[in-house]
Amino acid sequence: MKVDVLLGLQWGDEGKGKVVDVLTPRYDVIARFQGGPNAGHTLEFEGQKYVLRSIPSGIFQGDKLNVIGGGVVLDPALFKAEAEALEASGHPLKSRLHISRKAHLILPTHRLLDAANEAAKGKSKVGTTGKGIGPTYTDKISRNGVRVGDLERDFDALYTQAKERHLGMLRGLMTAEDYTAALTKLETTEKEWMEGVEYLRGFTFTDSEHEINRMLKEGKSVLCEGAQGTMLDIDYGSYPFVTSSNTICAGACTGLGVAPSKIGRVFGIIKAYCTRVGGGPFPTELMDETGDKLCAIGHEFGAVTGRRRRCGWIDLVALRYAIMLNGITDLIMMKSDVLDTFETIKACVAYEIDGKVVEDFPYSISEGVKPIYTELPGWQCPLGKMTSEDEFPEEFNNYLTFLEEELEVPIRIVSVGPDREQTIERYLEN
């Protein structure tokens, strides 16, 4: 058996949660391989809306095992709140969810460091969610991290050591007044965090690399769920305006402990247009009425932060780059219905940089890049009530064909609305 991977190809917020939920019935195991509670995967079905931050999106299918892998960073307080809300809505977790001992814990002081580091950058702010993700990964790389498996060891001593180290760093970043205020805030957050730690101890901790590889040998199927998007990858994204982990397909190998030869299909999720949260370059951004219209119709506000997303036309230069990095075998297009009322649809096919036409995503991209567009006629009819590809209008089929020819990968699934049922498969063999 192979491990299939599902990940975002843009700047995050592509709609991965819904697709995982739709694909879950075909798999035995759903696993998160990187990221933390800075990612919000939104799912809607049976009249209910759910936002998952750390828990895999397969949790709603009762007969599936869900795994939080070693590449994930976990905040016990936020995990407790998320898990209890799900259990209160009738979705028992303790029998469905395993957590890797190698996943790193986000400490209360990581959040304080996140805020202090971001404030120190001034106008160069990355636009982090303030959840402590970056400092946690920094501790991981510098070999100072605290992991889930440490809860089975002398945890109190390890926690105290890490906390004191962080407080020393904060003293160097803050004024005396701000440091005193931070200590006061820490008293409250630390209490909630410790309650989360006790709650976390009620779950099954596992060596997920052994567990997943054993299941593959037993003939079980595994779907890996990525967070954020390819253009936010720490190495290959629009650095330094990126996240702190590897969001590309290779991250599934390191985040879950599976060999590259075990990777099967790689599903790439895209929106029919493009969005971005936080700072950083965005070549096709629309700071006009069209951008405002995309935001309003698409309800483009962050599931975790509530921040307004920047909106623009689809960027095929960046998508070709993302497809190459990930080895995408299948594309899945989300939010097609948001473009229903547009008379003309635009797609960026190249950039103009310093007077030259560039078709490959460059090493470094500035705010001054000029997108070169191809225009296509819009379909100007509602896609949301359509239940099969046979009902698609000619203009929408032409848009799909154009994208497939430009990207050289088939679009297997099209989403025409937020609900689980508003999902149309196109020649997706099992």
Give the C-alpha separation, 153 to 72, whole Å.
Answer: 20
Identity of the amino acid at 197:
V
Contact 113, 163 (CB under 8 A): no
Give the C-alpha separation, 306 to 296, whole Å.
Answer: 14
Concatenated DSSP letters for 331-364? EEEE-GGGGTT-SEEEEEEEEEETTEEE-SPPSS
- Running DSSP on this structure, what letter comes out for residue 283? T
91 catalytic per annotation = no
Q: In DSSP terms, which residues pair with 315 in a beta bridge?
A: 348
Tell me the two tokens of residue 191: 């209490």
> What b/e readout covers 314-328, taking b as 16+ CB neighbours within 10 angstroms?
bbbbbbbbbbebbeb
Radius of gyration of the chain (CA): 22
Query: Which helix (H) or strand (E) element contains residue 271?
Result: strand 263-271
Closest CA to 41 of 50, 32, 30, 29: 50
Q: Is 300 helix (H, G, I), strand (E, B) or coil?
A: coil
4, 13, 21, 114: the active-site residue:
13
4, 21, 41, 166: the active-site residue:
41
What distance, in Å, lies between the first and last C-alpha atoms of the chain?
A: 14
Give the C-alpha separation, 76 to 194, whole Å.
Answer: 8
13 catalytic per annotation = yes
Contact 247, 229 (CB under 8 A): yes
Q: In DSSP terms, which residues pair with 376 in a beta bridge?
A: 345
Q: Is 100 helix (H, G, I), strand (E, B) or coil?
A: strand
Give the C-alpha separation, 315 to 370, whole Å.
Answer: 12
Residue 179 burial (10 A CB sphere; 0-12, 13-18, 19+): middle
Angle made by CA atoms 254, 260, 264, in degrees to the nearest 5 = 115
Angle made by CA atoms 11, 15, 17, in degrees to the nearest 5 = 120
- Cβ-based neighbour number of residue 311 at 10 Å: 26
CA 394 and chain centroid, separation: 32
Contact 105, 74 (CB under 8 A): yes
Q: Which residues are catalytic?
A: 13, 41
